Amino acid sequence: MNPLDTLIVKFAATCNLACTYCYEYAAGDESWRTKPKGILLETAERIGERIREFGESVGKDRMTVVAHGGEPLLLGAARLDAVLSAISNRASPIGVKFSLQTNGTLLTPSICAVLAQHQVTVGVSLDGSAIHNRRRIDHRGLLSYDQVLAGIETLRSTPGALFGGLLCVIDLEHDPEEIVDALCSLRPPMVDLLQPFLTHDAAGNTREATANRFGQWMCRAMDRWIERPEYAKVRIRVLDDALRASLTRRPETDWFGPRRISYMVIETDGTYDLLDQLKAIGAESAAMRQFGRTIRDCSLQDAARFAEQLLSERGGDKLPHACNGCRWADVCAGGHLPSRHSAARGFDNPSTYCEGILALLDHSQDRLTKHTQRLALTDTHTKA
């Protein structure tokens, strides 16, 4: 079965916030400037037609479309409705499951009503409490926290709306327990923690110290999450993945694992892109991400094939040489792609967070082993 099941579609090329760490606008890639600010209806229709063509040819009856940006809600309620309708109508009879990643500041009642109508699962970017969220500012430098909380409240009070969870970019300057508390107290069904983008060239000679600090941060975050029973209903995806993968050795998130083309990115002008997070590398990443095809001239099946070729040519699908012999190589596989990059060796480097990933996976295995031993002891005690 073809693994491609998700399209990340840029609904907007601009954003009403100016977060200081943004890979889209603050890392040196300026390609967004030449793209349409908002996706055109004809591009949305073509995406729907490509989904139908793909689904029928590979035997998939459903695909996921993630509305992304920039800030996708800059489209406004009416145009958002038209774009979502265009994709799902043209894709029919192949079903489209929509989700949307937003900064949360534009979740008005009319927009939430459109999202509910199309059954869009909404993820909101938030880095913790007001103090943790200090890097998520608008173009005047004003904090966005209060607006985001109001947006989440509007979403939650809209009948039929689906709150999918929170996306938090890790800030090692802040206490992990405080961040876990701040996020879980908002009762999201899921929390995604995002690794701060750090290439080898950016890390320089502080890399190892940063990786160790990162590992300690992640282990403390895991302990807080596990040890608070009231957080049991919140899935912190990467921690959940680390725990499971330390047992099954089959990870599911972008943080770990061999690269498969299970999703493609489509820009507002219909251009295909391999992985837009590679923009964190800077302007030179265009050659690693783009293969010169658009939704107009290339099917999804062919685009996935071109993307696989590009990934393979750049060595992004191979285990970095230095990872040979690592005890977690089958799980980690070198780590998240942007964190493997250096100008000198391309993607043939272990993750800049290597020591931290080792610590997290060891800690996950340790926690599970102790938990299993405790269960076994309880069992023996009960039988005795």
DSSP symbol at 68: E
Per CB under 6 A, which of residues 10..39 are in contact with ligand SF4? none
CA dihedral 33, 122, 95, 159 (to 10 degrees): -130
At closest approach, how far in Å is the CB of 291 from ligand SF4?
Answer: 27
Which one of 7-15, 110-118, 308-316, 324-332 is the stretch in contact with ligand SF4 (CB under 6 A)?
A: 324-332
At closest approach, how far in Å is the CB of 328 from ligand SF4?
Answer: 5
Number of H helices, E strands in the chain: 12, 9
Q: Which is nearer to ligand SF4, 30 or 201 (CB)?
A: 201
Per CB under 6 A, which of residues 147..206 are in contact with ligand SF4? none
Q: Which is nearer to ligand SF4, 47 or 311 (CB)?
A: 311
DSSP symbol at 33: G
Evaluate whether 103 touches 17 at the Cβ level (below 8 Å).
yes
> How far, in Å, CA of 339 to CA of 116, rounded?
36
At closest approach, how far in Å is the CB of 345 from ligand SF4?
Answer: 13
Evaluate whether 323 touches 332 at the Cβ level (below 8 Å).
yes
At closest approach, how far in Å is the CB of 208 from ligand SF4?
Answer: 11
Query: Among 18, 130, 203, 329, which residue interacts with ligand SF4 (rule: CB under 6 A)?
Result: 329
> How far, in Å, CA of 380 to CA of 384, rounded?
6
Q: Helix or strand or coil: residue 214?
A: helix
334 touches ligand SF4 by CB under 6 A: yes
Q: Phi and psi dihedrals of 307, rounded to 5?
A: -65, -40
Q: Which is nearer to ligand SF4, 324 or 382 (CB)?
A: 324
> How far, in Å, CA of 258 to CA of 260, rounded?
6
Instruction: Provide the pairing of β-strand 272-273 with 95-102.
Output: unpaired
Per rule CB under 6 A, count of chain residues that contact ligand SF4: 12
Which one of 15-23, 71-79, 220-228, 322-330 is the stretch in contact with ligand SF4 (CB under 6 A)?
A: 322-330
At closest approach, how far in Å is the CB of 321 from ligand SF4?
Answer: 10
Evaluate whether 259 touches 269 at the Cβ level (below 8 Å).
no
Q: What is the residue-wise DSSP string for 266-326? A: E-TTSBEES-GGGGGG-GGGHHHH--S-BTTTS-HHHHHHHHHHHHHHTTTTS--GGGTT-
Query: Among 9, 152, 239, 354, which residue interacts with ligand SF4 (rule: CB under 6 A)?
Result: 354
Evaluate whether 109 touches 158 at the Cβ level (below 8 Å).
yes
Q: Which is nearer to ligand SF4, 42 or 201 (CB)?
A: 201
Q: Which is nearer to ligand SF4, 9 or 326 (CB)?
A: 326
351 touches ligand SF4 by CB under 6 A: yes
At closest approach, how far in Å is the CB of 316 from ligand SF4?
Answer: 14
Q: Which is nearer to ligand SF4, 151 or 338 (CB)?
A: 338
> How far, in Å, CA of 301 to CA of 228, rounded?
45
Q: Which is nearer to ligand SF4, 188 or 320 (CB)?
A: 320
DSSP symbol at 38: B
Q: Compute and round to an integer the Cα radius of gyration of the chain.
A: 21
Which one of 12-20, 59-67, 243-251, 332-340 is the stretch in contact with ligand SF4 (CB under 6 A)?
A: 332-340
At closest approach, how far in Å is the CB of 348 from ligand SF4?
Answer: 11
Evaluate whether 94 touches 60 at the Cβ level (below 8 Å).
yes
Instruction: Provide the pairing of β-strand 235-236 with 190-194.
Output: parallel
Give Cα 13 to chain centroid, integer Å. Answer: 17
> How far, in Å, CA of 289 to CA of 292, rounded?
10
Per CB under 6 A, which of residues 277..306 are in contact with ligand SF4? none
Per CB under 6 A, which of residues 218..237 are in contact with ligand SF4? none
337 touches ligand SF4 by CB under 6 A: no
Q: Which is nearer to ligand SF4, 111 or 323 (CB)?
A: 323
Query: Among 4, 19, 300, 326, which residue interacts with ligand SF4 (rule: CB under 6 A)?
Result: 326
Query: Among 48, 72, 151, 350, which residue interacts with ligand SF4 (rule: CB under 6 A)?
Result: 350
At closest approach, how far in Å is the CB of 220 from ligand SF4?
Answer: 19
The contact set with ligand SF4 (CB under 6 A) reads 323, 326, 328-329, 332, 334-335, 350-351, 354, 357-358
